[in-house]
Amino acid sequence: MKKVKTVAESLVTKMEVICPNDTNPLGILQGGKMVQWMDLASAISAQNHAGYVCVTASIDNVLFKTPAQNGDIVTIQSKVTRAFKTSMEIHAVAWKKNLEMKEKVIMNEAYFTFVAIDKAGKPMNIPPLKPVSKEEKIAYEAAGKRREKRMGK
């Protein structure tokens, strides 16, 4: 049996500054670029947890809450919320901030499912996740319910 891991071991923080080539003609961050950045942070969280290369299996509930502009700084935080046999759910949240803002503002969040694979592309068993805090335990239970819904159960 693989070593049980904690949520903290999968925590990733990624930062980007929005440049003109990341935006549409109005200077607003393109949604696809935001999802790409979140997917990359989530992949790192998954690989930190699994110890294998991990691939995106699904993306749920991408919520664009507020737009970001050219020059804003985007901070993305991702972490494993639950590990199953070969897959895991990752929660990614993005905030924006600029020089005029006193506090960061949530702009996006999503749930990603990743599968750990070997060099032949075969799914690999991954370590179980042990939620520690009350917040982690709530997220763990909610991840199980989202999985059931994804699987049509």
Q: How far apart are CA 148 and CA 153, in angstroms?
A: 5
CB atoms within 10 A of CB 113: 23
pLDDT, tens digit, for every residue of 88-123?
Answer: 999 999 999 988 888 999 999 999 999 999 999 999
Give the model confidence (pLDDT) of 12-69 as tens digits. 999 999 999 999 999 999 999 999 999 999 999 999 999 999 999 999 978 899 999 9
Topology, domain 5-150? Thiol Ester Dehydrase; Chain A (3.10.129)
What is the C-alpha separation between 29 and 61, in angstroms, rounded? 19
pTM for this entry:
0.93
Rounded alpha-carbon distances, angstroms, from residue 34 to 21, 65, 70, 144: 13, 12, 13, 26
